[in-house]
Chain A
């Protein structure tokens, strides 16, 4: 996975690209930490350029959701495409995470 963060101080959009899998645990955590620097209120993961996600990758999304709940910021996903969209739908993740098309 690769990521880019665009932040205006209170809203951070992380643009993910490549594949989000088992090997990205540390990187994913680091991305969230970076996005949250300086009192960010809202983190959105833009999945438009993400080509592939596996179950461990979905686990990371759930970790993000859980962290946001306990730390009091909000967490959204947007623009899942292709395989990623299919996986999120199969797992009905929209029941627990806000997903915008």
Chain B
């Protein structure tokens, strides 16, 4: 029984009901009265009820403006602008470049018939036109065009919705005014860049000014990118906005966050995270890390650059994981570069990925730059992915300097 039902449904599969198709405006263009009438009869007999006529190329363009046809059946050889020119004109106009065009032609030579497609037509009918074939082709093209239109609408709507969601996501991260306030209240200079590889990002970062004048900062990268990982960034943000978090204590903070994420993340989903508390009064940097990429660090102007040890099981995998706190000095002139893996995993045709030596050189270079945003600009000047239209993964880049 079930099998039969499925089979029936398949055999009558019709993406757009015929009653819908027959109402769509169709334009027939031919300079010979008799031939126009013939095509009209074929279509009317089949039930099409919205058919319009044009007598040459110039008339066709006028009628197209008037009736906005869903499909054009076009003759080639006509006085007052031939079919090729009509085709070219329509295809150059973004308003009409999607209208299906069926050319009716007596041309038998392959080269000439190929030209029809080159000029932008969708299909051809050989003269003398066969009625059943005409109707079949008209139906196919109307259906395709309707479905493509719906697909376009769907894509436009989805991309608008995702754009709105990205704005919400971006608004949850510190903006320029918050970064300015951090400078005023902690004396620390921040620079930050957040660049999703698709509509939404699985990267996220945040910073808090603590009561004692310290700055807490975290950068997180959820597995994958796009909508699913972005939803996890929203989750993380809402966890962190409610409840008592021991922001002063990286180890406690990270362990608590890990336990909460372990409860809600599916197997195979996790996040790498770097969490640091910088105390400008005591000139210390305390951090804990869950497998984030090694952070670039310079203790002061005179110290050598080094990479901080950041190995650790990502959060969301095992609730009982310990994340120890490490402590370093953070003198006047000290500098940090925190980044997501895209910064060191992206290469381009001409440039290899950034290596440890590059990172250590870069941190020395940005030390002499005053503003956070200019430090970021400098780093982006050497980022191999800077010219790519679309990054392979989300990119976050943060600089902190004392």
Which residues of A come within 8 Å of B, CB atoms? 22, 54-56, 58-60, 62-63, 66, 89-93, 95-96
Contact = CB atoms under 8 A, between A and B. Distances in A.
Contact of A96 (B221, B317, B393): B317
Contacts of B270: 55, 58-59, 62
A55 B311 contact: no
Contact of B341 (A55, A60, A62): A55
Contacts of A89: 311
Given A59-B270, A62-B268, A63-B267, A91 B311 contact: yes
B224 A91 contact: no
A62 B314 CA distance: 11
A92 B223 CA distance: 16
A54 B314 CA distance: 13
A90 B309 CA distance: 9
Interface of B: 221, 223-225, 267-270, 272, 291, 293-294, 310-314, 317-318, 321, 341, 345, 393
Contact of A92 (B267, B268, B312): B312
A54 B340 CA distance: 12
Tell me the dominant secondary structure on chain A's binding face: helix
B223 A90 contact: no
Contacts of B314: 55, 58, 91
B223 A56 contact: yes
Contact of A55 (B221, B267, B310, B313): B221
Contacts of B321: 95
B291 A54 contact: no
A99 B224 CA distance: 23
Contact of A91 (B294, B313, B345): B313
B326 to A, nearest CB: 15
A67 to B, nearest CB: 8
Contacts of A90: 291, 293-294, 310-311
Contact of B313 (A22, A63, A66, A95): A95
Contacts of B317: 62, 96
26 contacts: A22-B224, A22-B225, A55-B221, A55-B224, A55-B270, A55-B272, A55-B314, A55-B341, A58-B270, A59-B224, A59-B268, A59-B270, A60-B268, A63-B268, A90-B291, A90-B293, A90-B310, A91-B291, A91-B311, A91-B314, A92-B291, A93-B313, A95-B318, A95-B321, A96-B313, A96-B318
A95 B291 CA distance: 12
Most chain B CB within a 10 A radius of its CB, from A62, A89, A90: A90
A22 B314 CA distance: 17
B318 to A, nearest CB: 6
Contact of B267 (A22, A62, A91): A62
Nearest to A95: B313
Given A96-B317, A96-B318, A59 B269 contact: yes
B342 to A, nearest CB: 10
B318 A55 contact: no
B392 to A, nearest CB: 9
Contacts of A93: 313
Contacts of A63: 267-268
Q: Which 10 A-B pairs rank lowest in CB-CB distance, beginning with the nearest?
A: A59-B268, A91-B291, A63-B268, A66-B267, A55-B223, A92-B313, A59-B223, A56-B224, A90-B311, A95-B313
Nearest to B202: A55
A53 to B, nearest CB: 11
Contacts of B312: 91-92
Given A91-B314, A92-B311, 8 more contacts: A55-B221, A55-B223, A63-B267, A89-B311, A90-B293, A90-B294, A91-B312, A95-B318
Nearest to A55: B223
Nearest to A92: B313
Contacts of A54: 341, 345, 393
